[in-house]
Structure 1
């Protein structure tokens, strides 16, 4: 059974995002007018999406995009700051289609959540690596396919990255995690279900991220003995390496993490 651990960081991050979204959508944006170029960018985004539940019905020409469903604008500048377009986990009708590069016109976007949608026909767009203001990116269980673009490593402000895949689909893969090594601000990383069979650098990269607090690599096809490493001994608090094929012999370096609170090595095949 997989151990579920919620760190203080993860809990506080959830509360902050929820409060910001609630305040901005309900009250904070009431007197803010969206910027025309950003409204047009969102309409182009809508036109390329498949929206069977009509979730984006409020996205209309000439409307105030700061009041649209899923859109959060900065209370002072009016720039689109957050896009919350996640589906509910058990929702049948989900967003799909393609993602228009007009998203790049949202130059002040700090948070993007497309989780639990159905983008089963496309890869994560390369241009996501140009959304350099992002601090929060959640594409988990959105059915993206193929290799993860390495230019996600350009998102130097990113603090939260969730790319979890459905274990039954093996939708995404990474042959190297070199790009992750450039995310020096990252505090939360979840690549569970991503095929990392060929990513032999996973330990050296992830355990050397200077700000990382949580690492989730559940069911990533990691094999054989965990190699020992030398690095800057991260501040990791939570590590989940369950449901892989790791050898029972674990390096001393794995147990010498000073801040470690939870280590899940269950369901590994020795």
Structure 2
């Protein structure tokens, strides 16, 4: 937790320098909340009732907004946004980078949908807690999350994420809590995340490997790729051989052999022969 402690100390030092940073940070944090309010759908009117920017001359007025935590009650500087279970809808909120001192974001239990920003880390460089669970987020998990070096909690369970889990995600040194259960993820669980329990990965039919009991099967496309490479190597060798042969008839016969070889290689189970002009199927392998 050394890195996390260092982050907190650094942010506290900046927060204490209100004479220099106060006005600039206050303006940006207020704009951050304005952008967030405009970007989300608020069918229950929670933000509409609480997030009023008419008192912009009062220090710390945004600290009384629903779900807003401040570094100090008399400063408009966002520490965290706890917006869980408010019925909010829409895409992932943009403009969060303006809340430049924010360390926590919780939008769990809402109806957010769509993909996460590819460069999400640029919006939340100092975030230590990120909870997006129980929404309808979809698409791939951005690999750039690995650049959120202070992240200690990542909760993505009960969404619609697909694709694989980024291999570098577990390299985030501070990550102590991780959950991607009940999505549509597939492929192998990265080695760097296998320290977490199987319960954190369940509900993803395509995931395999430790800590899950499901073993990974060889991909058919990988076998095809290996076969194709082998055929290409053999084809190059035969081409070299053909260059040394000048007899056109032999060349034609060799070319026919190559074609037949390739066809037989990719369709090894059955060949079609003809006897007395009557076609029949002959199985050459099980």
For the aligned pair, the TM-score class normalised by the smaller chain equals 0.5 to 0.7
Residue number in structure 1 paired with 2:214: 246
1:42 aligns with 2:33: yes
Residues in 2 aligned to 1:118 and 1:179: alpha-carbon distance in whole angstroms: 28
Q: CA deviation at 1:128?
A: 2.4
- The structure in which a higher percent of residues are helix is 2
Per-residue CA deviations over 1:33-66 (Å, capped at 9, x if unaligned) read: 9813211220111011100011102112233111
Residue number in structure 1 paired with 2:227: none
Relative contact order, CA 8 A, sep 6+: which one is greater? 1
Residue number in structure 2 paired with 1:87: 85
TM-score (norm 2): 0.58
Rg comparison, structure with higher value: 2
Residue number in structure 2 paired with 1:192: 181
1:217 aligns with 2:215: no
Q: Output the aligned Cα RMSD.
A: 2.9
Q: CA deviation at 1:141?
A: 1.0
Gaps of 5+ in 2: 1-21, 56-60, 216-286
Residue number in structure 1 paired with 2:145: 152
Gaps of 5+ in 1: 1-31, 89-93, 228-238, 248-270
Q: Are the aligned partners of 2:130 and 2:155 in contact in 1 as well (CA < 8 Å)? A: yes
1:172 aligns with 2:161: yes
Residue number in structure 2 paired with 1:263: none
Q: Tell me: CA distance 1:151–1:223, structure 2 relative to 1, closer, same or farther (3 Å).
A: closer
Q: 3-state SS of the aligned residue for 2:102?
A: coil
Report the count of equivalent residues: 186
Residues in 2 aligned to 1:43 and 1:103: alpha-carbon distance in whole angstroms: 10
Match of 1:115 among 108, 112, 118: 108
Q: Are the aligned partners of 1:188 and 1:213 in contact in 2 as well (CA < 8 Å)? A: no
Q: Are the aligned partners of 1:87 and 1:116 in contact in 2 as well (CA < 8 Å)? A: yes
